[in-house]
Structure formats: structure tokens, C-alpha cells
Amino acid sequence: MTFEDIIKQAIPDADEQLCEHILWGRTCFPAGQITAKSLYKAAARWRRAWINRIRLCDYCDQPALAGEFECQCHKQGRH
């Protein structure tokens, strides 16, 4: 099973670009090891946020500030 197959289990209509984003931007890859479970959880978390129109922080997956790519803590440099 490829990483794309795992992501498509959580996001059936995911294209190659979204699969790459989930792998590189929502997991610790390539700096750390990922499992199929952690990859699936990252994809499912992204999908839930997308459905609810919530943008996630690029650093910690917490809800980002409106129109921003960071949460309140990262915006203020507290993390």
C-alpha cells in the first residue's frame, strides 16, 4: 500500500497534490517515521477541518486564526 492509498481511505477524492500536502505538511515526514495509522489520522483530521471550513495551523494542526495560517499561540511566538 502506498501513502496515497492510505490517504485516499480517509479522503476518497484526494488528488496527487493533496496527498503530497498531507504527507509533507501534516506529518513528521521526512524528519521522523510515520505509520499507516498516523498518516490516516492526519488525512482524516484535514478532511474534517475542510468539511467544517476550518483552516489548520501549519505548525500544530490547531485551528488557525481567520485568514491566517497560524494559530494564536504560533502567531504570538508562544510555542
Give, in order, the Cα–Cα distances in Å from 9 to each of 65, 68, 75: 29, 29, 33
pLDDT at 76: 85
Q: What percent of the chain has pLDDT over 90?
A: 71
Tens of pLDDT along 27-60? Answer: 989 999 999 999 999 999 999 999 999 999 988 8
pLDDT at 35: 95
13-21: long-range contacts (C-beta < 8 A, 24 or more apart)? 14/43
Q: What percent of the chain has pLDDT over 70?
A: 99
> Average pLDDT of the chain?
92
